[in-house]
Amino acid sequence: MPTSIIEKTRSSFLQQDVNLSKYTTWNIGGPASYFCEPGTIAELKRGLNYADEMGLEWRVIGNGSNLLVADSGFDGLIVRVGPKFADHSVNGDVLDVKSGAPLYKLADVANDYRCSCFNFVTGIPGTIGGGVTMNAGAFGYEVSDFLTKVTYLSENGEVKEMDVLDDFFEYRNSPFLYSGEIVLRAEFRLDRSSHQPSMSEILSTRRSKMPYSLPSAGSIFKNPSKADKTAGEMLDIVGAKGMRVGDAVVSHQHANFILNDGHATAANVQNLIDILQERVYKEFGVTLVTEVEVI
């Protein structure tokens, strides 16, 4: 790429030394050397091309709700796929949503069409892209239950589609989780045979069980597949509630939540995660696996 184009890319929509703490729900993280928020696939490609030409590492983030960013930040390009990349449309029983839209948009739109099948995502603070990549779920449902097609950017920069999905999505896992491919949009079916509690009821249930008063990243650990207890139950038994490292503290309401009680650092959080994993392993012989992505 000629230098003039590199400079044009940098000046047009790339920002430098952007503090990432305001782009994570934990309010934790140092600066990114470069940062952009594309509104189109062309802009997304432009940012990635710039990173490749300059020899920069790059990472894609959404709402930052499952993200622990190092205190030193990220020496590369952070691409935030968010509100600028969030259009949606409905055609019959098909809901097509760009990956930067918030997950709750599924429930909002579906309810406009008298369909409650996505109410389970109410209160989950991620984006469509993050929800598909992590196969987000709650109350016995997962995003993949209603997913019919994913449009994504391949590692070599091609726009591709995947519409055979059944064998590729598992609990908190998808083909996109570690692939280097970027979810661009997703199609879902409006399933009127799925009758779920109202959005307000689900939100009320969440608030009664989960802490919302301080910044967090939601559940820290995945529920072990071969254990008879959830991660939260095991953490409760080993006395995790109230444990603290610096301003990182385990919620008294739910032991699988680490809260930022003021000025927690990424190091505080990581140290606390390590301690919790060690306690659970000693008590149950189970290695808890984090849901949180570390940058």
What CATH number did the domain enclosing 20 receive? 3.30.43.10
> Do residues 69 and 120 both lie within one domain?
no
Q: What is the pTM of this model?
A: 0.91
Q: Are 132 and 149 spatial neighbours (Cβ–Cβ below 8 Å)?
A: no
Residue 124 lies in a domain: yes
Distances (CA, A) of 52 to 4, 79, 133, 262: 16, 13, 23, 37
> Do residues 218 and 290 both lie within one domain?
yes
> Do residues 165 and 250 both lie within one domain?
no
Total domains, the chain:
3
pLDDT of residue 186: 98
> Do residues 91 and 185 both lie within one domain?
yes
Whichever domain contains 147, its CATH number is 3.30.465.10
> Do residues 156 and 230 both lie within one domain?
no
> Do residues 46 and 113 both lie within one domain?
no
| Alpha carbon distance 84, 29 (integer Å) | 22
Contacts of 97 (CB under 8 A, 6+ apart): 86, 87, 88, 105, 106, 109, 128, 185, 186, 187, 188
Gyration radius of the chain over CA positions = 20
Catalytic residue positions, numbered = 172, 219, 291
pLDDT of residue 10: 58
> Do residues 97 and 156 both lie within one domain?
yes
Q: What is the pLDDT along the chain (295 residues), one digit of tens a residue?
A: 444 555 655 556 899 999 999 999 999 999 999 999 999 999 999 999 999 999 999 999 999 999 999 999 999 999 999 999 999 999 999 999 999 999 999 999 999 999 999 999 999 999 999 999 999 999 999 999 999 999 999 999 999 999 978 788 998 899 998 888 999 999 999 999 999 999 999 999 999 989 989 999 999 999 998 889 999 999 999 999 999 999 999 999 999 999 999 999 999 999 999 999 999 999 999 999 999 999 9
Residue 96 lies in a domain: yes
Q: Which two three-digit tokens encode residue 44?
A: 């997304």
Residue 26 lies in a domain: yes
> Do residues 178 and 96 both lie within one domain?
yes
Residue 141 lies in a domain: yes
| Alpha carbon distance 76, 50 (integer Å) | 11
pLDDT of residue 165: 81
Range of the domain at 113: 86-189
DSSP 61-113: ESS-TTEE--TT-EEEEEEE-SGGG--EEEETTEEEEETTSBTHHHHHHHHHT
